[in-house]
Structure 1
Amino acid sequence: MSYLSEQEIIRRKKLDQLKLLGINPYPSEEYNVTSTICNILKNFTEKETISIAGRLMRLRILGKASFGEIKDHTGCIQIYFSKNHLDSEEMGKEDTYNIFLKKLIDIGDIIGVTGFLFKTKMNEITIYAHKLTLLSKSIRPLPQVKVDKKNKKTYDAFSNTEQRYRMRYVDLIVNDHVKEIFLKRTRIIQEIRNFLDDKGYIEVDTPILQSIPGGAIARPFETYHNTLGIPLYLRIANELYLKRLIIGGFHGVYEFSRNFRNEGMDRIHNPEFTVLELYIAYKDYYWMMNFTEKLMKCIWNKFQEKENNHINFKTPFSRISILDSIKKYTGFDLEKMEKEDLRKVCQKLHIEENVKMSKAKLIENIFEEKCEKNYINPTFIIDYPVEMSPLTKRHRHKKNLSERFELIINGQEIANAYSELNDPIDQLNRLREQMKFSEKNTKDESMSVDQDFIRALEFGMPPTAGIGIGIDRLVMLLTQKNSIQEVLLFPQMRPEKGGKK
């Protein structure tokens, strides 16, 4: 056990001692919990007998009496242990206190406590324990985070970013605010679901394993199906499957889609991420802008943080075309520029460019580098060049543009929406053009031609509006977090050096 710390060695010895005493450190029996800590604190009744279970977070031995703190999924409460009144299933009162509690129980152990409620002289609600049960022995010590509630200070915080993301389970145990982020994430998703369900739209599931990585321009993760003998791809988008359902007769469908892209990682990108995709028949992108305003305002009003009051969610949201935005913040009018002209603009603006980049990619880079950060209040960036939007209808009034918008809030893209292209011949031609360019220049990122999707379009798809909303980024916005890793329970990371300890 040379790789173990001194504390880990001691705890393993305690584990052996417990077994010698006939105490199962990992019992199978159900433990009867009569209340939660939150309910106890809200509905305190003097002398009420209760039974709770949770993790021991503090333990202070004071001779014949000791104080501890237990934490369940709803909160923390103080426990009072008395030598003369504490008992257990396996041991007598004196041994329960002197041996079981004082020598064999550790901070981090999961315990059950039965006792009655009272208030201390400091008016703190406390459980007077008369029975103690070990439910799971912790053989690895927790970080000891000390909180000075009076002065609102935290000492020895478990705050190392890499450790927190790798050991999210520890992060959740010792940093209460982290759990609140993910509870809020769940409530946000549920509120969106309720909003869409109330409109009569149907939640569906579409394949994660796909034979063609379609619906977006991205590099996929590839795998292989042994029985079928074919390569498969983790989905980069679910768009084409949801459109198939509109073709099949559904009026409105949505999916909280887990997508996967084999690309770079930074504070707003993770290889797997969650997107809400919504498609409504007989609507267009103008309708979708109005709908998005209503949805976003609803979510904002319910979940905004006080610190977010610098963002004004007054409707209607501002609207500006992407080319006008670029002209406003760079001074360059890109409307009639060809690829080489765009490259020269990038060079002048010190923006990444190379000969392999398409016109769409060059325009996208300019906007993201020079414009996006300026939009703090919700703003619709509209009317993208056709080259940037191979799945979008051409604009009904503006030549060479498409009926597409992105919603930018606090300098980040939150949503992307189209009047969906439903002309099968135009769609096939645009996908083929996209493929030609990809094969010639950027093989890692491509828009594949899904022949079955084209066949589906040939049966006729009604005019349709579609939108994708980045759930992770929306949660970042509503929880005031600057990194996507903060709102993912288990963000992707490199394996630990030296193997698992």
Structure 2
Amino acid sequence: MSEEMNLSEVLQVRRDKLKKLREMGRDPYKIEKYDQTHFSQDIKDTFETMEGNEVSIAGRIMAKRTMGKAAFIDIQDKQGRIQSYVRKDAIGEEEYDVFVTYDIGDIVGVKGTVFKTKQGEISVRATDVKLLSKSLKPLPEKWHGLKDKELRYRQRYVDLIVNPDVKKTFIARTKAIKALRKYLDDRDFLEVETPILDSVASGANARPFITHHNTLDIDMYMRIATELHLKRLVVGGLDRVYEIGRLFRNEGMSPKHNPEFTTIEWYMAYADYEVMMKMCEEVVAEMAMAAAGTTKITFQGKEIDFTPPWRRVRMVDMVTEETGINFEEVETDEEARKIAKEKGIEVTKETSKGEIISLFFEEFCEEKLIQPTFVTHHPVEISPFAKRDPENPAYTHRFEAFANTWEIANAFSELNDPLDQRERFEDQLRKKELGDDETAMMDEDFLNALEVGLPPTGGIGIGIDRLVMLLTNSPTIRDVIFFPTMKPLDK
């Protein structure tokens, strides 16, 4: 008999059991609540004081061993697993006859007393067992395991049941985000919410998702950044604001990219990019401690030390270090384009020296940035929302933080000159007309806000998913998002 047929029979047997329970007036789906007084790990951790006490536990049956008039079951709750010892003479013959029909995967409630078996395992001696929900499908490991990663991501609810490390990863993610919130809340930042749908897609260079509002009869965009709305709030006098939320970018998928992802952006009036730099390394270190218990984490065999302070290097200087080419000595865009072509970097007749510096950095430098590093002073052409460096207006007071060759944060001394900002928007529009569909849109209302007056402000964005990947040694972003974007099975 084939495995598929075996599985079909199992599914039918479970449905038959449910039918019989309903005929007996024991429909588990009609139960609405259960008085759960204790959890597995708490009982184990406090056994000396818990021994002999009555408890009421609940969870999923993960293992079952029946020996005539007695049985052992392993119950999995939110903290882990604990064994329960069930005897016919303790719960009654009728109840025991029903109990032995329960399947692995069923959710039960058990009342009983805490004890330790002869083998030394802390357990609950059952006096009552109640079926709270019937599992109509067997857990996958019984048949073929949950080895297919695609299936794991599609059925995360099963993945969480059978793979304990998955739950640990998401608990670590939550701890990291709690540490992030606490860091900012302790410094008088206000958590806010800004629109996810907007009539303008701006604040970053990215391709947006487009939808349509029927009542207004206008196209709208899923947000690609929270930046411009948060800076509007700073204009309005909310000097310290942050938002943790989803962004949406209609771009490629990879181990580091999901179309929807979580970021934090925060803005602080009367601060600059150097203040953001210090805050960035401090908060990431605290997130590492919360998630991993150390600032020295191991990712895919590499140790990465998030202990502050991190290395700081200007982008143009790192390009010189890695290529021997000093673009500060290159006077014209034309000369820069010639050098780029000699190095095999694709450019057009419109490509500027600043853009070429960035291309050289991506090609020759990013792969060297394993340890946390702040790369600073980006060219103005690639930094439409950052203040210029007063000492060299070709560059900006901006940094990107890198670790494991990945960008994990991006920050500026925010541009608050409305005239300069308009010119940069117009430059972005020129690029869009030349075919670059990832450039920022003109946002007239944001320009209006700048004309009202934005104080000197430091701002930063951190990609939470990518950072959590590092802190939990997760090789793909799908491992740190509960329900990653997946191609439909029928496509």
**How large is the RMSD of aligned CA atoms in angstroms?**
2.4
Cα distance change of structure 1 residues 427 and 85 upon mapping to structure 2, 3 Å threshold: same
Question: What letter corresponds to residue 242 of structure 1 in structure 2?
Answer: L
2:366 corresponds to 1:372? yes
Quote the residue 1:322 is aligned against: 315
Aligned to 2:113: 116
Between the two proteins, what is the percent identity of the paired residues? 46
| Counterpart among 199, 204, 221 of residue 233 in structure 1 | 221
- Which amino acid is 1:370 matched to? F
For the residue of structure 2 that corresponds to 1:459, the secondary structure is helix
Instruction: Show the counterpart of 2:99.
Output: 101
Residues 220-369 of structure 1: pairs in structure 2 closer than 5 A:
220-304=208-292, 307-308=297-298, 310-335=303-328, 336=330, 353=346, 355=348, 358-359=351-352, 363-369=357-363
Return the match for 2:66 from 61, 65, 69: 61
Give the equivalent residue in structure 2 for 1:433.
427
Cα distance, 1:357–1:256 mapped onto 2, change above 3 Å: farther
1:369: Cα distance to partner?
A: 3.5
Residue identity in the other structure for 2:170: F
**C-alpha deviation, 1:408, in angstroms:** 0.8
How far residue 165 of structure 1 moved from its aligned partner, in angstroms, is: 0.8
Give the CA deviation at 1:102. 2.2
Structure 1 residue runs of 5 or longer lacking an equivalent are: 87-92, 147-155
- Describe the shift of the 1:424–1:320 C-alpha distance in structure 2 as closer, same or farther (beyond 3 A): same
Is 1:73 aligned to residue 78 of structure 2? yes
Distance 1:32 1:288 in 2: 48
Tell whether 2:127 aligns with 1:134: no
Letter in 2 for 1:259: L
Determine the C-alpha separation between the residues in 2 that align with 1:4 and 1:113: 29
Amino acid at match of 2:390: R
Q: Distance in 2 between matches of 1:344 and 1:485?
A: 41
Q: What amino acid is aligned across from residue 214 of structure 1 in structure 2?
A: S
**Using a 3 Å threshold, how does the CA distance of structure 1 residues 26 and 362 change in structure 2: closer, same or farther?**
farther
Instruction: Answer whether contact 1:356 1:441 (CA < 8 A) is retained.
Output: no
Equivalent position of 1:89 in the other structure = none
Distance (Å, rounded) in 2 between the aligned partners of 1:292 and 1:461: 22
Amino acid at match of 1:26: Y
Bigger drift between 296-305 and 449-458 goes to 296-305
Task: Check 1:3–1:256 CA distance in 2 against 1; reply closer, same or farther (3 A cut).
Answer: farther
Deviation at 1:338, TM superposition (A): 6.3
Secondary structure, counterpart of 1:432 in structure 2: helix
CA shift at 1:356, angstroms? 9.3
CA displacement at 1:472 relative to structure 2:
0.9
Question: 1:455 maps to which residue?
Answer: 448
Q: Distance in 2 between matches of 1:406 and 1:319?
A: 10
1:391 aligns with 2:389: no
Matching residue of 1:48: 53
Compute the displacement of 1:376 (Å): 2.0
Give the conservation status (yes or no) of the 8 Å contact 1:379–1:407.
yes
Corresponding residue number in structure 2 for 1:27: 30
Instruction: Name the CA distance, whole Å, in 2 between partners of 1:344 and 1:487.
Output: 43
- Quote how far apart the aligned CAs of 1:345 are: 5.7
2:197 to 209, 215, 219: 209
Structure 2 unmatched ranges of 5 or more: none
Shift of the alpha carbon at 1:337? Answer: 7.4
- Give, in whole Å, the separation in 2 of the partners of 1:283 and 1:60: 64
8 Å contact kept, 1:357–1:441: no
| CA–CA separation in structure 2 for the residues paired with 1:347 and 1:158 | 49
| Counterparts of 1:266 and 1:357, CA distance in 2 | 30
Deviations 1:366-385 (A, max 9, x none): 42343112122221100111
Q: Secondary structure at the match of 1:401?
A: strand
In structure 2, distance between residues paired with 1:417 and 1:307: 24
Residues 400-420 of structure 1, C-alpha deviations (whole Å, 9 max, x = no match): 111110011222111100111
Q: 1:145 to 1:349 in 2, by over 3 A?
A: farther
What secondary structure is seen at the aligned counterpart in 2 of 1:39? Answer: helix
- For residue 149 of structure 1, what is the aligned residue in structure 2? none
What corresponds to 2:460 in structure 1? 467
- Change in Cα spacing, 1:8 to 1:348, as seen in structure 2 (3 Å) is farther
> Hey, what does 2:488 align to over in structure 1?
495
CA contact (8 A) 2:265 2:462 kept: yes
- Partners of 1:218 and 1:497 in 2: how far apart? 29
**Match of 2:238, as an amino acid?**
F
2-structure distance, mates of 1:110, 1:356: 67
> TM-score under structure 2 normalisation?
0.91
Note the 1:159-178 alignment, pairs <5 A. Answer: 159-178=147-166
SS of 2:394's partner is coil
The alignment partner of 1:279 has SS state of: strand
What one-letter code is carried by the residue in structure 2 that aligns with 1:243? K
Q: Cα distance, 1:5 vs. partner?
A: 2.5
**Map of 2:404 onto structure 1:** 410
| Deviation by residue 1:333-379 (Cα, 9 ceiling, x = unmatched) | 4443766766666666566x464985566544442343112122221
Matched, 1:401 2:395: yes
Report Cα offsets for 1:243-264 as digits up to 9, x if no partner. Answer: 1011111111111121000001
Q: What's the CA shift string for 1:405-436, capped at 9, x where partnerless? A: 00112221111001111111110111011111
* CA drift at 1:81: 1.5
Asked if residue 423 in structure 1 is aligned to residue 403 in structure 2, the reply is: no
